[in-house]
């Protein structure tokens, strides 16, 4: 499937607000309602739209504090990685996890009711998985946040 400018515009609009009505989307991309609905369905079928979600306000949800934990490990076996993946996957406060290049192996984005709660999460991890080093940084201010990805690179 090759994307055209209307597809890219639809993807951009949907990722900014998936609750936008098909009628509003159709108007913004100059398509009929049915043509717009078919395009959206095709984008979903081809995997350009992975899922539609509601983004919750962390403050309203009682987790206004964000901590980034940088993790180093001496273990890199498939079994260890799977245990680590399962351990962090079971902790709701860990909202993102990435494997890294460089001086650290992983970074975890953790949302918390208060900074003191970090110790609870830390202990949940280290009780199950052996780590070499963990250092945490508290986010002082969000300068940019979002889940939108650039649509101009998709073909």
pLDDT tens profile 72-125: 999 999 999 999 999 999 999 999 999 999 999 999 999 999 999 999 999 999
Predicted pLDDT of residue 155: 83
Q: What is the pLDDT of residues 26-72, one digit of tens each?
A: 999 999 999 999 999 999 999 999 999 999 999 999 999 999 999 99
How far is Cα 40 from Cα 25, in angstroms, rounded to an integer?
10
Neighbours of 113 (CB within 10 A): 14
Question: What predicted TM-score, i.e. pTM, was given to this entire model?
Answer: 0.89
Domain boundaries defined on the chain: 5-45, 65-138
* Rounded average pLDDT over 142-146: 93
Pair 148, 12: CB distance under 8 Å: yes
Which DSSP helix (H) or strand (E) runs through 138? Answer: strand 133-138
Q: Do domains 5-45 and 65-138 have the same CATH topology?
A: no
CATH class of residue range 65-138:
alpha beta
CATH of 5-45, one of 1.20.1070.10, 3.40.50.300, 1.10.10.10, 3.40.50.2300: 1.10.10.10
**Separation in Å, CA 122 to CA 9, 68, 79, 141, 150:** 42, 12, 21, 22, 34
């Amino acid at each position: 499937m090759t994307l055209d400018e209307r597809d890219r515009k639809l993807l951009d609009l949907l990722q900014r607000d998936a609750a936008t009505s098909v009628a509003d989307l159709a108007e913004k991309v100059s398509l009929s309602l049915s043509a717009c609905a078919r395009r959206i369905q095709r984008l979903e079928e081809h995997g350009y739209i992975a899922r539609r979600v509601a983004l919750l306000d962390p403050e309203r949800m009682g987790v206004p504090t964000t901590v980034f934990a940088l993790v180093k490990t001496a273990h890199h076996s498939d079994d260890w990685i799977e245990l680590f993946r399962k351990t962090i996957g079971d902790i709701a406060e860990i909202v993102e996890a990435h494997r890294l290049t460089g001086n650290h192996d992983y970074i975890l984005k953790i949302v918390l009711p208060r900074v003191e709660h970090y110790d609870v999460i830390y202990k949940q991890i280290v009780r199950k998985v052996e780590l070499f080093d963990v250092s945490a940084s508290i986010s002082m201010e969000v300068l940019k946040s979002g889940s939108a990805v650039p649509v101009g690179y998709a073909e």
